[in-house]
Structure 1
Amino acid sequence: MNCTLIVLNYMDKERALSLAQKCKNFDCINHIIIVDNCSPDESYNWLTNHLNCDDTIIVLKSKKNGGFSYGNNYGAKFAIHKYNPEYILFANTDTIFDEQSLQMCLYALKDNQNLGLISLRMKNIDGYEEISCWKEKNYLQSTLYCLWLYRRKKYDFFHYEFNDSSINMKYVDVVRGSFMCFKSQALIDINYFDENTFLYYEEDIISKRLKNHHYKIAILTNYYYIHDHKYEKNFNEVKMKHNLDNSMYYLLKTYYHINILQKIFTKLVIYYSIIEFSILDFFKKRRKK
């Protein structure tokens, strides 16, 4: 099977290199592309120096740090132009998976004509299962989901349960972006990821684009990958909240085609959620003292 792996790196060069070197031994992976998303820590030079004799793995440097979608598109467009792979796997630097799991993803894509994207169930580094996919929200649900109380009440409502082990594949609405295996033709048909968000809601947006082109999305229910979450030092929660709200509003405006009254309501809810966030953040910091 002709599959190219895209690893998007931002200041996580050691794990990007480790993942690439492990996967180059997979028979089902033909090429590996590490895209350095303009890391300010000289990641590109460090990676190229460590891979100067390796023909299987190449390193690209994006023209700017345009976020998750831009960086992954940069690698995918290069791969399709140079290698014309049948499948493209996007995997975060902090993911761990084996060859058999990936092979099963590729078999599922090959055997299901309308399947455009597939993923695996996800566990954390301690072996506990985490959310790997979720149900699509309507306009009102999406807007209210930025409120802490609504998320707390409805958190489980939007998630799938996998109780029947006899079912090997389940169609779902949205899969997590840390491990996404596509048919290349599906990516081409939907014109790749939408680059108008920097971070967050990329999964919901790509799912909308796939569904608009009559592609399905699925999870293999009996295979897992590990997401050894990378947490940035000095993580800026205010900036995170800002990116989250902007991306959610863009999703609703562009893909739900909301009217002027809905736009006003969403802006008001976002404004209230910022006040809510500030109050919760204040008490959280007080507890830490």
Structure 2
Amino acid sequence: MSDNLKTGFVILNYNDYKTTIKLVESIKNYKSIDLIVIVDNCSTDNSYEKLHEYVNNNVILIKSDKNGGYAYGNNFGIHHLIENYNCDIVFISNPDVEFEENLVVEIKKQFKNNSKYSVLSGVMLDINGNVVKNPYWNIPSYKYDLLDYFFIGRRINKKEFIVDYTQEIMEVEVIPGSFLAIKSDVIRDIGYYDENTFLYCEERILAKKLKNKGYKSGLITGISYKHMHSISIKKTFKKVDTIKIFYDSKLYYNKEYNKVGKFRENILKIAAKISLLEYKVLEKICK
């Protein structure tokens, strides 16, 4: 790759302009980032007007034509950066993250020096600076997802993923969607994010599409970022609603990417109904 990698940054906002502004203010002077694109995903508050105050030479604000969810909104920003500014690298970030410029610098350096990886990120930390449990994971199988609907199944599935600090870059399957960088030619080659999910499972679908094309993802162990975890989602949806959206996305993933037949698809639907009933009962008990 060229020594001078043009770098774009996508931040997706939905009804959470304060968090988005905080991130933009913290990174707008990073010389390693050429352009920041804020995508307002058809917010129902005054986000667009508030965010417009922060537009300058390297901060662009665009509005999606509909709220098609996480994948749709991020694709909207990625297309804008690649088609209008010919960016070589696109960073995709949740608004609720914090990071120093060395994170971007190191990722760009590794892209230049190591052609093995098409997607890179750093280690995710919580708000207190502790490594988040399971900061990466494997692409889920049908069996894993089926077991995951139930309490006992989740215990069977339980596997701890630990960062191996003896490796400069760990090859991993699924990188968290809260913060990652991808080569522009790669995201084009795999057909961008799959827009058929509204929320959740975008990471595993991206990982599956990358793996199917022979691309590799890596976790750079010497750098990190803090993630505050789904602030805008918690503001917008009740817990049971988010679980239903998650299950709908899992069903789509298994139909389209694990290629399950009608029988196994129906088993997943039944499992989802039972699991949702459990959550609703627990929610009533908690209240």
Same fold (TM over 0.5): yes
Q: Which runs of 5+ in 1 are unaligned?
A: none
Distance in 2 between residues matched to 1:28 and 1:142, nearest whole Å: 39
The 5 Å alignment of 1:106-185 reads 106-130=108-132, 131-155=134-158, 157=159, 159-162=160-163, 164-185=164-185
Partner residue, 1:11: 15
Distance in 1 between residues matched to 2:269 and 2:16, nearest whole Å: 35
1:84 paired residue among 79, 83, 86: 86
Distance in 2 between residues matched to 1:278 and 1:22, nearest whole Å: 40
Question: Could you list the per-position Cα deviations for residues 55-103 of structure 1 after superposition, in whole angstroms to 9, with x for gaps in the alignment?
Answer: 1101000111111000000000011011111100011111001111111
Q: 3-state DSSP class of the match of 1:271?
A: helix
**Are the equivalent residues in 2 in contact too, given 1:120–1:132 (CA < 8 A)?**
no
Q: Which amino acid aligns with 1:51?
A: Y
Runs of 4+ in structure 1 off by over 6 angstroms are none
Higher mean alpha-carbon deviation, 173-182 vs 8-17, is at 8-17
CA drift at 1:279: 2.5
Distance in 2 between residues matched to 1:114 and 1:128, nearest whole Å: 29
> Using a 3 Å threshold, how does the CA distance of structure 1 residues 234 and 16 change in structure 2: closer, same or farther?
closer
Q: Which runs of 5+ in 2 are unaligned?
A: none
**Are the equivalent residues in 2 in contact too, given 1:91–1:178 (CA < 8 A)?**
yes
1:74 paired to 2:93: no
Percent of aligned pairs with the same residue? Answer: 33
Higher mean alpha-carbon deviation, 65-74 vs 265-274, is at 265-274
CA drift at 1:235: 4.0
1:257 paired residue among 255, 259, 280: 259
Distance in 1 between residues matched to 2:12 and 2:215, nearest whole Å: 24
Partner residue, 1:41: 45
Partner residue, 1:247: 249
Q: Which amino acid aligns with 1:115?
A: Y
Q: Cα RMSD between the aligned structures?
A: 1.6
Question: Could you list the per-position Cα deviations for residues 127-147 of structure 1 after superposition, in whole angstroms to 9, with x for gaps in the alignment?
Answer: 222132111221111222122
CA drift at 1:238: 2.0
Partner residue, 2:239: 237
TM-score, normalised via structure 1 length: 0.92
**Are the equivalent residues in 2 in contact too, given 1:135–1:160 (CA < 8 A)?**
no
Distance in 1 between residues matched to 2:221 and 2:155, nearest whole Å: 26
Distance in 1 between residues matched to 2:266 and 2:258, nearest whole Å: 15
- The size of the alignment, in residue pairs, is 280
Higher mean alpha-carbon deviation, 111-120 vs 180-189, is at 111-120
